[in-house]
Amino acid sequence: MNKGDLTVIIARFAEGPVRKYTFSRKLLLVTSATALILCVSFLLSTLHYYYMWKKVSDYSELETTIDQLRRENEGFRLSANSLNEKVSSLEMTSKKLKIVSGLDRQGLGGMGGPLEVSGQLIPLSNKEIGDLFTDLDKKSGDLEVELRRLQDFYTNQSILWAATPVGMPVRGYPSDGFGNRLDPFNGEPDFHVGVDISAPYGNKVIATADGMVLFAGRSLGYGKMVSLDHKFGISTRYGHLSRLAVGTGQKVKKGDVIGYVGSTGRATGPHLHYEVRLNNQPLNPMRFFQSATALQFKMDRSKTRPPKNLRRG
């Protein structure tokens, strides 16, 4: 036995046989080196396997992410194309509305053509998609302002239309027109600030526009009268009524009954005296009549005295 050798003694019982094993130093070194190499190799293999497993896992996750991004990119392209078509359509609608409303004086030339919708998406890069969305965002902002302007315009137009007297306030025929005339009572030259509409006693008199009753009662010369305010400085008056159907401060709609034909006040017989005023300045109500009879009616200003069979006041 050399110095440095390893001896291992194995005894099962104290009195039993003893076994002795001797290992040389060289063998121990070789065995230890081999075991160390095996452990290091196993450790390196384990680390390499873990690295490769991690890499494969990351690659699979990356493939999943890429596939998801590809689908999202495809969705963005579809959304971008759809939004672009919608914005273009809205821009065309806005332009047509501006032309119809008179806000665009240049007019719309020849425009149109079929809209081709393809199932294929327009190929766009990420930068192009970003630029497209930026452009669409700007267009949508401008379009929102333009549509708000058009909405305000049409809202004001609808209010103005509702406040504009249209048509005749009673079923009948004009018996005396607007302007210079001879007074039916004294034959003196006079200026008639409204029109007289001959109608049977008790016929319904309606409001020719939405408004509010400024006055409902007796007034000198008018007899029983209703005065309506229609905003925008527009007002109407209905005179010589036999009965009133509204009161001061009451809101009325176009077509509502406000009174009944009579001959109260300075009148020669049953008829309605009707006035249209703008900022309290009388306008010719004939301009607002839609009846063919009223449109064709013309007063002969050359007559020195009105016919006796016409009801005036």
**Residue 161 pLDDT level (bands cut at 50, 70, 90):** confident
The string over 294-312, giving b where at least 16 C-beta atoms fall within 10 Å of a residue's C-beta and e elsewhere, is beeeebeeeeeebeeebbb
Identify which has the larger pLDDT, 21 or 236: 236
**Per-position DSSP letters for 91-137, written without gaps between them:** HHHHHHHHHHHTS-TT---S--------SSPPP--HHHHHHHHHHHH
CA distance 145 to 86: 16
- The answer to whether the CB of 254 falls within 8 A of the CB of 207 is yes
pLDDT band at 213 (very low <50, low <70, confident <90, very high): very high
Kindly list the domain boundaries of the chain, sorted by start residue: 6-73, 75-106+121-163, 173-296
Rounded to 5 degrees, what are φ and ψ at 85?
-65, -40
Cα–Cα distance, 311 to 307 (Å, whole number) = 9
- Average pLDDT across the chain, whole number: 77
Domain 173-296 in CATH 3.30.450.20? The answer is: no
CB neighbourhood size of 84 (10 A): 16
Top pLDDT among 134 and 100 is at 134
Residue type at 305 in one-letter notation: R
pLDDT, residue 53, reads 85
Assess whether pLDDT exceeds 50 at residue 296: no
Q: How confident is the model at residue 293 (pLDDT cuts 50, 70, 90)?
A: very low
pLDDT of residue 126: 64
pLDDT, average across residues 77-97 = 71
Which is higher by pLDDT, 158 or 204?
Answer: 204
What confidence tier does 1 reach under pLDDT thresholds 50, 70, 90?
Answer: low
φ, ψ at 102 (rounded to 5°): 90, 5
**176-190 average pLDDT score:** 85
> Which of 127, 94, 108 shows the shortest CA–CA distance to 135?
127
Comparing 10-24, 173-187, 220-234, 248-262, which segment has the lowest mean pLDDT? 10-24
* Buried b or exposed e, range 63-77, using 16+ CB within 10 angstroms: eeeeeeeeeeeeebb
Digit-coded pLDDT (tens) for 27-45? 778 888 888 899 998 898 8
* Higher per-residue pLDDT: 78 or 166: 166
pLDDT at 80: 72
Q: Which of 169, 196, 165, 179 is nearest to 276 (CA)?
A: 165
Say what the pLDDT of residue 99 is: 64
Q: What six digits make up the tokens of 262?
A: 């009579």
In sequence order, which ranges of the chain are alpha helices (DSSP H)?
25-101, 126-163, 292-296
Q: What percent of the chain has pLDDT over 90?
A: 27
Q: Is the pLDDT of residue 238 over 90?
A: yes
CB 271 within 8 A of CB 313: yes
pLDDT the model gives residue 208: 93
Neighbours of 217 (CB within 10 A): 12
pLDDT at 164 over 60: yes
Q: For position 248, what pLDDT does the model report?
A: 94
| pLDDT of the residue at 216 | 96
